[in-house]
Structure 1
């Protein structure tokens, strides 16, 4: 099971990967409890770079566990976590807590502060601003859309990101195709994919909001870019220059791998700047969240610093892979 929006996004991604789902996913609603055998489960929508993410409260045999899932408190839905910290589930026997950023120096500025940084970069750049980010990181898309509007530019996204927005934005205030300062770039590769998979109707709907790749030349747009898009941009004569800027707005660990995109801009002597904030909670926020939940035990998942970063946490349970654990009476 998963959230309603998550189920839709999983289906889109599976189709794009040419591995379409052969069944519909069962879904839940935030704070709507449901029963699975003897387990009572209650999902809580949370703040994370992955859209429609949840924490799970699990109750069985009079015991209560909260699984934090991946979360943060510096995104555009941070109020969800703060409200939970102000009114936490009572009498938790265990908190299963992620610790991806524990003891690291990964950036954890707010999305609002990141938006300011993109506005500043856009205003300092005389040409285009190309940005690499995940189409499913909707917080980041909103950040870049707001930065585009504030800097007098247009955000140019690919067909996949357009479908993501079109799918989840209905009934919300999220930016989507049809908004001012937002255009969909029609690249050959993605266009072929949508036609091959029988989704010409989506292309037809996007036409009025779209532009051809060649229109990127001579523009001042904020342009989505990644390796697959670079090939289609090149084929239509899009060429970066020293007047352009490129920002890699994903975890910088990915830069350890060869990047056709990064090389494209480095060879053009474009300004390159890493602007990003993590999808996971900072060390300080992990401690604050654990304190607010006040669980009897903490079982940690993710992260490699738990052995040296235990200050500020209650009793921590350390388990090996596949090891079982029984809650004490």
Structure 2
């Protein structure tokens, strides 16, 4: 089995890994680089089967539903079949109504935890993992008598931490090469750990307790772990979690009865103007109708803002200001702090401050700390460990054993 990493040996995001054996090929992820400029031309990696059909490309196996792992597929004229979790497919399908560049994917099959999938000469075994994306997987790939393990994006401090412990306690054996993400290198000291999702819940609970007005929590609706955390912090304070239609659809797409839904008494839908217009133009009134049980209107928010915690995004601000419900409100930024450097986000913060709305950051990473990466690498004990999804590949040899640093575009034998 041969491997080449098209992107990822020297950067976080844009991951594309190509495997080849017996003249047939498979891709692990096909992501858009994080530094891609919206609406700018996208340069596809030199993978036959992306720019045009090629029967030797058997498909793309997606680790999870973050754009830096699937985003190039919307630019691939070759439309290879895509293999992903059923939850990932449902979330991407639901998101496509709201986000214009989410592609319609040709689904080959759904991944199931621990169930081997045969694709030509390749056998792919998915391992469900803890990550900030719902339905995320690592993979063991067998071909040509060799075994490769790909970590995807992984952590141990989320709500699914038991999955990490299960992987460490019962790892795949006889791994020739391990491709391991290193997102935390350069962001976190070697011995430090990220806060757990439980600790984030405790912090948010205290913020909601002490604030007398509406609390706005800016978090990704696709970070289902975080939405559960926000819901629990609201409920512990006797408040209702308010979501917009996009977030309501993300929660609905999980098809998990244990995850908050708008039919729950502690969850409510508030549909901003731009989403109402979108629904009307598309005549997709069914989207709102399935969430009608818990629907709120501006006058409801204005009457008792202290009763609500809002899953917030910038596009909601004008509607909330018009509702006159933000007197004494407070905002919590609960996603990657790097976004705070964006011009658009900086403008949002200035607007919040101009209206006297407080602001603070409470967040944890979607990626493993260095001590947990060491635990993972030690448990799997690969013959060779190759850094991926990191800006700090050169630091790997000082932290892990059997490291070989590869270059983007370089073919090598497993």
Q: State whether TM-score is above 0.5.
A: yes
Structure with a larger share of its residues in strand: 2
Q: What is the Cα deviation at residue 250 of structure 1?
A: 0.8
Q: 2:220·2:335 contact (CA, 8 Å) conserved in 1?
A: yes
1:80 aligns with 2:80: no
Alignment partners' CA distance in 1, 2:236 and 2:358: 21
Within the candidate set 365, 368, 373, 1:281 is matched to 368
Indicate the residue corresponding to 1:66 in structure 2.
149
1:141 aligns with 2:223: no
Indicate the residue corresponding to 1:18 in structure 2.
100
Q: What is the Cα deviation at residue 305 of structure 1?
A: 2.0
Alignment partners' CA distance in 2, 1:269 and 1:232: 17
Deviation string 1:137-169 (CA, Å, 9 cap, x unpaired) is 000000000000111111111101101111213
Within the candidate set 102, 109, 118, 2:204 is matched to 118
Q: 1:14·1:21 contact (CA, 8 Å) conserved in 2?
A: yes
Indicate the residue corresponding to 1:150 in structure 2.
236
Q: What is the Cα deviation at residue 283 of structure 1?
A: 1.3
Deviation string 1:188-217 (CA, Å, 9 cap, x unpaired) is 111222333332112112122110134222
Alignment partners' CA distance in 2, 1:65 and 1:157: 41
Indicate the residue corresponding to 2:129 in structure 1.
46
Q: What is the Cα deviation at residue 307 of structure 1?
A: 1.4
Structure 2 SS opposite 1:90? coil
Indicate the residue corresponding to 1:213 in structure 2.
298
Residue correspondence of structure 1 range 225-304 to structure 2 within 5 A: 225-234=312-321, 236-238=322-324, 240-241=326-327, 243-258=328-343, 259=345, 260-304=347-391
Count of aligned residue pairs for this structure pair:
324
TM-score, length of structure 1 as denominator length:
0.93
Q: 1:103·1:283 contact (CA, 8 Å) conserved in 2?
A: no
Tell me, which stretches of 5 or more residues in structure 2 are unaligned? Answer: 1-82
Indicate the residue corresponding to 2:113 in structure 1.
30
Alignment partners' CA distance in 2, 1:253 and 1:19: 22
1:127 aligns with 2:210: no
Structure 1 SS opposite 2:397? coil
Do the aligned partners of residues 22 and 166 (structure 1) sit closer, same or farther apart at CA in structure 2, a change above 3 Å counting?
closer
Alignment partners' CA distance in 2, 1:233 and 1:95: 48
Say which is worse superposed, 110-119 or 121-130, in terms of deviation.
121-130
1:9 aligns with 2:94: no
Q: 1:43·1:54 contact (CA, 8 Å) conserved in 2?
A: yes
